Amino acid sequence: MNTKILELANQADVVIHGIFGKPMNVYELERFAELIVAEATKALWTEECMTSDLALAEYSRNSNKIKQHFGIAE
Question: What average pLDDT does range 29-36 have in this prediction?
Answer: 86
How far apart are the C-alpha atoms of 35 and 57, rounded to whole Å?
22
| pLDDT over threshold 70, residue 27 | yes
What is residue 1's DSSP assignment?
-
> 23-58: string of b/e by CB count within 10 Å (b at 16+)?
ebeeeebbeebbeebeeebeeeeeeebeeeeeeeee
| pLDDT over threshold 80, residue 41 | yes
The dihedral region occupied by 18, where left means phi > 0, alpha psi between -120 and 50, and beta the remainder, is beta
What is the pLDDT, as a whole number, of residue 48?
95
Q: What is the pLDDT of residues 49-70, one digit of tens each?
A: 999 999 999 999 999 999 999 8
